[in-house]
Amino acid sequence: MRRLAGFLVLFLMMVVPVQAGVKVTDASGREHRFSSEVTRFICSGAGCLRLATYLQAQELVVAVDDIESRRTRFNSRPYSLANPFFKDLPIFGGFRGRDNPEKILGLSPQPQVIFKTYPASGTNPVMLENKTGIPVVALEFGDLYRNRGDFFEALTIMGEVLGRQERAREVIAFFENEIADLDARTKGIAPADRRSCFVGGIAFRGPHGFTSTEPWYPPFQFVHGKNIACPGPGGPQLRHSLFSKEQLLTRDPEILFLDLSTLQMGKGQGGLHELMTDPIYQELTAVKTGKVFGVLPYNWYTQNMGSILADAWFIGKTLYPDQFKGIDPAKKADEIYSFLVSAPVFGPMNEAFGNMAFRAVKLQAKDSK
């Protein structure tokens, strides 16, 4: 009897199709089911290709938005530097999610899915799905501090759709371990011994001058730096702000960091020029003592997660050298990039910014020779 039952189970397994594929619920709460392996897709919105590259799925991308085709002096997107072939792929729409349904329908081969970060920006995901007949999976890009869960969820959802679940878990564990290591090295520093600092020149939908900052700048949070722009516990959760020059002078932080994205503003503009020429900045102790250091861009088509980690290691070593003995920030950066984008791109990226990253910025007042 048992033998007969066993044959019956085997027979049913052979003749009854097993439900294949995967079901996911995206960031907008919509459910998607994929019954076959996804081998072709496109990424819409800031940072979406970054996620795909972290999951080592970039070879499955069949088209890109128009930011990938732009050739400029500056490129601080490690995923792009590691995958120059993106520049040669067909264009399906504008950057920041301004998708063109007609161009998408004209792609050959057709994508089986469209991933879309920042779904509230650009083309509406439901409308895009209705016009193209292609599933549009919405993702919240998140960040590495208060919205880290959104970032990890985006990796998880994309990983499930693409069959890269194990890689998604590896990437999430990588970020968690790096952040935990930074915290363990610095959490024991007494509050009175934590060095005051400020980062200026951060890009936000374009380049800005030195007052442009991130109040909850993750690298400072990771290494327990005393960020003078941070409102502190219970304060507003500002994503970006312009800090008062006068307040900067009053607080006079011990160490300044210059986000090199400000160099995009060109000669005679931007944070570097301001530090060299503005009388208020000339009075800052850090400027007088040469304690101004260049860091890799925080934002470049949304947040550069790998660069944020790399900057944190350099900032930690700068603020607290005893806690980071034996760490070479440039080598550490390439370890991070090699894991995330499969290429050590610190060198070419730094070269585009005049090799100013992870070193003291040379400042010379306009009237000095």
Place of tokens 């920030």: 329
For the cut 70, the answer to whether the pLDDT of residue 252 exceeds it is yes
- pLDDT confidence of residue 369: 34
* Rounded-to-integer distance, Cα 236 and Cα 243, Å: 14
Dump pLDDT digits (tens) for 100-134: 999 999 999 999 999 999 999 999 999 999 999 99
Find, among 297, 298, 286, 296, the residue nearest to 363 by Cα: 286
For the cut 50, the answer to whether the pLDDT of residue 350 exceeds it is yes
For 7-71, the DSSP string reads: HHHHHHHHHSPP--SEEEE-TTS-EEEE-S----EEEESTTHHHHHHHTT-GGGB--EEGGGG--
Q: Residue 214: count other Cβ atoms within 10 Å of its Cβ.
A: 27
Find, among 227, 178, 224, the residue nearest to 198 by Cα: 227
Dump pLDDT digits (tens) for 146-202: 999 999 999 999 999 999 999 999 999 999 999 999 999 999 999 999 999 999 999
Q: 11 falls in which pLDDT band (50, 70, 90)?
A: very low
Rg, Å, the chain Cα set:
24
Query: In this structure, are residues 298 and 201 in contact, taking their beta carbons and an 8 Å threshold?
Result: no
pTM for this prediction: 0.91
- pLDDT confidence of residue 259: 97
Phi, psi (deg, nearest 5) at residue 258: -110, 115
Dump pLDDT digits (tens) for 317-348: 999 999 999 999 999 999 999 999 999 999 99
Query: In this structure, are residues 54 and 171 in contact, taking their beta carbons and an 8 Å threshold?
Result: yes
- pLDDT confidence of residue 236: 63
Range ranked top by mean pLDDT from 9-23, 204-218, 277-291? 277-291
Dihedral of alpha carbons 353, 355, 357, 363, sign: negative
Dump pLDDT digits (tens) for 27-41: 999 999 999 999 999
Query: In this structure, are residues 288 and 363 in contact, taking their beta carbons and an 8 Å threshold?
Result: no
When pLDDT is averaged across residues 2-6 and rounded to a whole number, the result is 44
For the cut 90, the answer to whether the pLDDT of residue 241 exceeds it is no
* Rounded-to-integer distance, Cα 246 and Cα 242, Å: 12
Cα of 120 vs its chain's centroid, Å: 19
Place of tokens 């590896």: 170
For the cut 50, the answer to whether the pLDDT of residue 16 exceeds it is no
CA terminus-to-terminus distance, the chain:
99
Task: Tell me the percentage of the chain whose pLDDT exceeds 70.
Answer: 91
- pLDDT confidence of residue 3: 45
Q: 20 falls in which pLDDT band (50, 70, 90)?
A: low
Across the strands, what pairs with 256?
198, 292
- pLDDT confidence of residue 238: 64
Q: 205 falls in which pLDDT band (50, 70, 90)?
A: confident
Pairing, β 136-139 against β 64-65: unpaired
Place of tokens 């960020």: 227
* Rounded-to-integer distance, Cα 291 and Cα 123, Å: 45
